[in-house]
């Protein structure tokens, strides 16, 4: 799928461009040869009772606390609502529309980052891509719920809601802050490492889950450009810090995103800077949509081929039945003819005998 066109070179941000553009990182099959052996060995306990294919109606954005989910979702919405790119997104209701745009406005007008998300919030969106429409349900949830659901495997209303949300994923975007992966404490990194592996095993273990596109999105690449470059850019970084996840999801695509640039204000605080454009924002979603549409096309082609085969078999069966009944008809005609000839012969013999 085509990534967004590269922006013109900007010497001041060249490092960022190098990282942001390194987004088509199909991790080669050869590198993942041993992945299959561990990927599905130990299915998530939540999968045990689920043997029917779930209804898949959503693009799931997952991430630990402060991974950048709220900012990513709101900026993505703003750009795809206002812009004229390949992806168009429209909220199903005015409340969701205002909620998402007001987060962006808050950053733009008041140079304030949004507060940590307090509770689960559903976002019903309508996505148009390459002339196809997809209904997309998203969930902006507090990052701690992710830890409770997939690291501590706690059961409460919020974790059940998140697990059900993940179960119905048509595509998954895994948001991770590279700084947490590289320098975070064990507990923090466990969300992205252990938690993500459990969540993705769960997705893969569901019926049809092996077809769900999953991408890794490294966030805040404006701030993390040096860190990523130091560890071999997106591919090298993902190999180094997300090796378990990459084994669980062979061929995992890695994208780098900067939803909102930051800068230092007069007081030296890091504040959002929306005057500069985001980087690689729609790439992960476009990739997932392209995979989803492609597999929908494949399914439609398969269904059409199956229908054609069924029709041909039905017609062959009908022809065979007709042939059999026509064979029976001529057999009876022959029998009757022979019987008639025999009867005429016998009658003639009887008449001849009687006349002597």
Ligand X SMILES: Nc1nc2c(ncn2[C@@H]2O[C@H](COP(=O)(O)OP(=O)(O)OP(=O)(O)O)[C@@H](O)[C@H]2O)c(=O)[nH]1
Interacting residues toward ligand X by CB under 6 A: 63, 65-71, 113-114, 116-117, 142-143, 219-220, 222-223, 258-260, 262
- The nearest distance, CB 49 to ligand X, in angstroms, is 28
Q: Could you tell me the maximum CA-CA distance found in the chain, to the nearest angstrom?
A: 141
User: E-strand spans in the chain?
Assistant: 58-63, 87-91, 121-129, 132-140, 169-176, 214-218, 253-256, 261-264, 270-273
- The nearest distance, CB 299 to ligand X, in angstroms, is 33
- How many residues in total does the chain contain? 356
Closer of 214 and 260 to ligand X (Cβ):
260
CA angle (122 as vertex; 4, 105 as ends), nearest 5: 60
Q: Does 70 bind Mg ion (CB under 5 A)?
A: yes
- The nearest distance, CB 117 to Mg ion, in angstroms, is 3
Closer of 69 and 167 to ligand X (Cβ):
69
Closer of 108 and 128 to ligand X (Cβ):
108
Closer of 134 and 221 to ligand X (Cβ):
221
Report the partner that residue 71 touches, choosing among ligand X, Mg ion, none (CB closer than 5 to 8 A by kind): ligand X
- The nearest distance, CB 261 to ligand X, in angstroms, is 6
Q: Is 355 exposed, middle or buried (0-12, 13-18, 19+ CB in 10 A)?
A: exposed
Report the partner that residue 205 touches, choosing among Mg ion, ligand X, none (CB closer than 5 to 8 A by kind): none
The three-class DSSP label of residue 61 is strand
- The nearest distance, CB 192 to ligand X, in angstroms, is 12
Closer of 65 and 198 to ligand X (Cβ):
65
Stretch that binds Mg ion, among 62-70, 222-230, 258-266, 322-330 (CB under 5 A): 62-70
- The nearest distance, CB 257 to ligand X, in angstroms, is 7
Contact yes or no for 70/117 (Cβ under 8 A): yes
In sequence order, the β-bridge partners of residue 125 are: 91, 136
Closer of 134 and 151 to ligand X (Cβ):
151
Closer of 73 and 238 to Mg ion (Cβ):
73
Look up residue 191 and give its DSSP letter. Answer: I
Look up residue 265 and give its DSSP letter. Answer: -
- The nearest distance, CB 285 to Mg ion, in angstroms, is 18
Closer of 277 and 345 to ligand X (Cβ):
277
The three-class DSSP label of residue 113 is coil
State the Cα–Cα distance between residues 6 and 20, nearest whole angstrom: 9
- The nearest distance, CB 175 to ligand X, in angstroms, is 7
Site string for Mg ion, 115-154 (x = CB under 5 A): --x-------------------------------------
Report the partner that residue 63 touches, choosing among Mg ion, ligand X, none (CB closer than 5 to 8 A by kind): ligand X
322 CB contacts (<8 Å, ≥6 apart)? none
- Residue 185 structure tokens: 């404490």
Of 29, 54, 28, nearest in space to 205 by CA: 54
DSSP notation for 285-351:
HHHHHHHHHHHHHHHHHHHHHHHHHHHHHHHHHHHHHHHHHHHHHHHHHHHHHHHHHHHHHHHHHHH
Contact yes or no for 76/282 (Cβ under 8 A): yes
Report the partner that residue 21 touches, choosing among Mg ion, ligand X, none (CB closer than 5 to 8 A by kind): none
Stretch that binds Mg ion, among 66-74, 193-201, 229-237, 239-247 (CB under 5 A): 66-74
State the Cα–Cα distance between residues 264 and 271, nearest whole angstrom: 6
Q: Which residue has the closest beta carbon to ligand X?
A: 143
In sequence order, the β-bridge partners of residue 169 are: 58
- The nearest distance, CB 277 to ligand X, in angstroms, is 12
Report the partner that residue 204 touches, choosing among Mg ion, ligand X, none (CB closer than 5 to 8 A by kind): none
Closer of 213 and 256 to ligand X (Cβ):
256
Q: Which residues make up the interface to Mg ion (CB under 5 A)?
A: 70, 117
């Amino acid at each position: 799928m085509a990534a967004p066109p590269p922006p013109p070179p900007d010497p001041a941000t060249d490092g960022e461009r190098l990282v942001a553009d390194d987004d088509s990182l199909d991790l080669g099959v050869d590198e993942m040869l041993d992945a299959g052996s561990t990927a599905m060995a130990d299915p998530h306990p939540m999968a045990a009772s689920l043997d029917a294919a779930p209804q898949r109606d959503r693009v799931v954005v997952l991430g630990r606390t402060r991974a950048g989910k709220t900012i990513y979702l709101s900026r993505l919405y703003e750009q795809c609502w206002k812009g004229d790119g390949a992806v168009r997104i429209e909220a199903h209701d005015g409340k969701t529309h205002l909620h998402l745009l007001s987060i962006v406005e808050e950053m733009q007008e008041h140079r304030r980052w949004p507060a940590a998300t307090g509770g689960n919030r559903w976002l019903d969106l309508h996505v148009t891509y390459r002339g196809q429409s997809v209904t997309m349900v998203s969930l902006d949830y507090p990052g701690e719920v992710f830890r409770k659901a997939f690291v501590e495997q706690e059961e409460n209303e919020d974790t059940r809601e998140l697990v059900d949300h993940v179960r119905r994923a048509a595509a998954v975007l895994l948001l991770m802050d590279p700084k947490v992966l590289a320098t975070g404490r064990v507990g923090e990194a466990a969300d992205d490492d252990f938690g993500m592996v459990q969540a993705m095993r769960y997705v893969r273990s569901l019926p049809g889950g092996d077809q769900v596109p999953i991408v890794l999105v490294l966030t805040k690449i404006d701030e993390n450009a040096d860190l990523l470059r130091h560890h071999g850019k997106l591919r090298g970084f993902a190999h180094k810090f997300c090796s378990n996840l990459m084994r669980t999801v062979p061929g995992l695509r890695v994208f780098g995103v900067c939803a909102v640039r930051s800068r230092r204000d007069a007081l030296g605080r890091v504040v959002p800077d929306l005057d500069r454009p985001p980087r690689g924002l729609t790439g992960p979603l476009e990739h997932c949509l392209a995979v989803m549409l492609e597999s929908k096309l494949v399914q439609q082609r398969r269904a059409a081929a199956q229908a054609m085969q069924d029709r041909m078999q039905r017609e062959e069966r009908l022809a065979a039945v007709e042939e059999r009944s026509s064979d029976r008809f001529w057999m009876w005609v022959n029998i009757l003819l022979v019987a008639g000839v025999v009867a005429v012969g016998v009658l003639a013999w009887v008449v001849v005998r009687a006349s002597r």
